[in-house]
Chains A and B, each alone.
Chain A
Amino acid sequence: MANAISANAAFFNQLKKYYTLYTGGFIAFVIALAIFEQMGMSSQMLGYIFLAATIGLYAGIGVMSKTADVSEYYVAGRRVPAFFNGMATGADWMSAASFIGMAGTLYAAGYDGLAFVMGWTGGYVLVALFLAPYLRKFGQFTIPDFLGARYGGHLPRTIGVIAAIICSFTYVIAQIYGVGLITSRFTGLEFEIGVYVGLAGILVCSFLGGMRAVTWTQVAQYIILIIAYMIPVVWLSVNITGNPIPQVAYGQALQKVTAKEKELNDPTSVLGTAEMSVRAIHKEKAKEWGDKIKTLDDAVKAGNGAAFHAEQKGKVEQKLADLKAAPTPDAKAIVAAEKELKDFPANIDKLKAKWSGAEKGAKAKSGAIAAHAQPFSGKGAEKKLMKESADKGETPTPEAVAKAKAEDKKASDDKRNNFIALVLCLMVGTASLPHILMRYYTTPSVRDARKSVFWSLFFIFLLYFTAPALAVLAKYTVYHDLVGSSFSALPAWVQNWQAVDSTLMKIVDMNKDGLIQLAEITIGTDLIVLATPEIAGLPYVIAGLVAAGGLAAALSTAYGLLLTIAKALSHDVYYKMIDPHASTVRRLTVSKMLLLVVAILAAYVTSLKPGDILFLVGAAFSLAASAFFPALVLGVFWKRANYLGAVIGMLAGLGMCMYYMFMTYDFFGGVAANEWFAIKPISAGIFGLPAGFLGVIIGSLISKAPSQEITDLVDHVRYPNLESDINTNAA
């Protein structure tokens, strides 16, 4: 044992040396590129170099870590020190959505967006208290392994495999989508090609070395992504507040933002008056869209939806033809019309969704803005009533005021309840996603597993507690540098991003006063992180660095997920159920082939651009929470839980969760009217979770208690070390 410990310490020091060198080397590389940029290298070239260098680096680590040992391939030989396992988990955990989308979501939603910040960090408390140490003591390869051993029989394991595949696959599609998006944006390649470039990057790393390669690559990726996230925010913070610690400094920026919000909502101020005029225009537009949607609905009701769709598409085709036939063709307008035609919704449902989105957007901009730090703002019924009455010169009746107040309170309470439900689903989902839990199989001991959860959350926390600061600093910039300034003097970053992608940044002078109003600005959620380097006035090389960080975040999460699916199929299905006598070589070959097949399948599905990626990600959390959490936790903390309980509990959880989604989510043909307590389908886990717990408890109590062997197994996982202990470590 003493030998093992000193070997572990030596290994740790060696790793520390390598990664310190690596970090230094990476910084030197960025500085070198910055010098090349000053010497005149084009930004597209910089984008290519960043892409090639980082993917090459990951491939290098992947090839160096190739292995033919099952334990190395599945759990990195169980000698990953707590600190490095924490970093790897951090990269595994933080997806493209966290890296690129989070700050933007907070920018748009203010307090109400914090559900993601709390949900995606607080879940680790559950991992630490209920799962990580016990799973490590159990020490096999997969989460279905635990279900299989604890509950016996093939059925619990099989349900576990199916649930693991469903949640990991929906999640991996979102990651590959992110890879495609980043690659195409920074190199100018087509999205579909970007997807396959990303796929190649994923495969070279994980194919040969499995978990071992993935772990060491993820550590490298974490270092890149955290550097890439921090540099622009720190710089922006220095620019705005003079303080290099954004997490502290943004308090004063928030106060100024709040003061500005009040001014913009105040019709007696100069800025407020201008806002009102733009809001009125948005109100008109919302009404126009509403009318258009009505004609669409009428057409569908009359049974000629397809004809209506063709007619609308025909209008765009006609416009394009007219533009081309004009005596002096307007090249810019033609390109725009061609794009419009290319992106035209494929069918009547998608057309309606697009129009509804436009109506919703216009409606949102026609109202007063909510204060950034204000939780669960109501729908403004009371304010509206007061204003309408004042316009007519009357005082509203007390009943009308009470009714409006009640409406506001209900809207606000619904938001609060949904916030709580979402936080709970994200937290429990975090503690149930197999690709995260299996990381705690890779530490040398139970002790290290506990420490490792701490390091995991610490490294995740660094990014998540910076995101709210970035959102406020960006808002400060927009409110102070953009709003009220002249259209003739747009900052360079606004012009650049408007040219790159109008869904990310768009400013139109709607009331033709030559000045920018807040309601005239459209900002996509991804813009905040992507544009921060330019807003802060940093050179392009930092923008390239941010793209490399986003790519690292997406790739690292994709590795973990693909490996989880391949492991579930090759280990749980093939080895444990189909051919338990398979040789090591055969098991690894099967695993590698499956990894390849699953990866290609995932890339193919992604290239079809399936709808609503964000919902899919949220759904993965709800599904994982409902299916796994009750059976896993009760498996450790309640000895009486048995086979029948696990089967009923997992099926009930999964079933309830899916049922609720099908009933309420329009993608599956559900309607919002079916919602219980006005809870949104993304938080379906709030119903699946109790169903799962009840299922396990009832199922266990109506059948006989588990055998002595099983209770011994439970004692075995509860104590890090027992005399005459059994050994369940799989090699």
Chain B
Amino acid sequence: MQLTDKHREYWSKNLRLTSVLLAIWFVVTFVVIWYARDLNEFTLAGFPFAFYMGAQGSLIIYVAVIWYYARRMNQLDQEYGVHEGDD
């Protein structure tokens, strides 16, 4: 199976997207937990910030990250002609 430059570009774009989204995941999870005691000094809509992130904020971001990944990758499939079928 011979890969073209276009294929390689697709894969490197995928890797870049994956790293960016993974970084977001890392920040809203682990960085927020690490500084939770200090972040709780701020409030967001009446909630202590770190508590809000753990209970809801980070969850909303996880859902958004996966939604964006699916959308963007499905677009990239089309752009680089590696999509399955034509719906």
| Complex CA–CA separation, A2 to B45 (angstroms) | 49
**Are A416 and B33 in contact, with the CB atoms below 8 A?**
yes
Known: A251-B45, A712-B1. A5 touches B55 (CB 8 A): no
| Complex CA–CA separation, A476 to B40 (angstroms) | 20
| Complex CA–CA separation, A720 to B82 (angstroms) | 6
Asked if A465 is at the interface (CB within 8 A of a chain B CB), the reply is yes
Known: A416-B34, A454-B66. A465 touches B82 (CB 8 A): no
Known: A125-B65, A420-B34, A720-B82. A373 touches B46 (CB 8 A): no
Q: What is the interface residue range for chain A against chain B?
A: 35 or more
A residues 694-718 touching B (CB-CB < 8 Å): 712, 715-716, 718
**A and B contact pairs by CB, cutoff 8 A, 16 listed:** A5-B85, A117-B59, A118-B29, A125-B22, A128-B65, A128-B70, A251-B47, A372-B51, A375-B37, A375-B51, A416-B33, A419-B33, A464-B59, A465-B59, A715-B1, A715-B3
A450: which of B48, B50, B65, B73 is its contact (CB, 8 Å)? B73
| Complex CA–CA separation, A473 to B49 (angstroms) | 19
| Complex CA–CA separation, A461 to B56 (angstroms) | 9
**Are A122 and B25 in contact, with the CB atoms below 8 A?**
yes
Q: Which of B18, B50, B54 has the most CB of A within 10 A?
A: B54
Asked if B13 is at the interface (CB within 8 A of a chain A CB), the reply is no
| Complex CA–CA separation, A373 to B29 (angstroms) | 17
> Chain A residues with Cβ under 8 A from B66's Cβ?
124-125, 128, 453-454, 457
CB distance from B52 to the nearest CB of A (A): 8
**Are A133 and B86 in contact, with the CB atoms below 8 A?**
no
CB distance from A12 to the nearest CB of B (A): 12
- Which of A232-240, A615-623, A651-659, A722-730 lies at the binding interface? A722-730
> Chain A residues with Cβ under 8 A from B42's Cβ?
none
Q: What is the interface residue range for chain B against chain A?
A: 35 or more
CB distance from B36 to the nearest CB of A (A): 4
**Are B77 and A423 in contact, with the CB atoms below 8 A?**
no
CB distance from A137 to the nearest CB of B (A): 9
Which chain B residue has the least Cβ–Cβ distance from A82?
Answer: B70
**Are B56 and A465 in contact, with the CB atoms below 8 A?**
yes
**Are A720 and B83 in contact, with the CB atoms below 8 A?**
yes
Known: A375-B36, A450-B74, A457-B63. A468 touches B55 (CB 8 A): yes
**Are A374 and B40 in contact, with the CB atoms below 8 A?**
yes
CB distance from B28 to the nearest CB of A (A): 8
| Complex CA–CA separation, A157 to B60 (angstroms) | 37
> Chain B residues with Cβ under 8 A from A2's Cβ?
85-86
Known: A118-B29, A375-B50, A468-B56. A450 touches B69 (CB 8 A): yes
**Are A718 and B40 in contact, with the CB atoms below 8 A?**
no
Asked if A247 is at the interface (CB within 8 A of a chain B CB), the reply is yes
CB distance from B2 to the nearest CB of A (A): 8
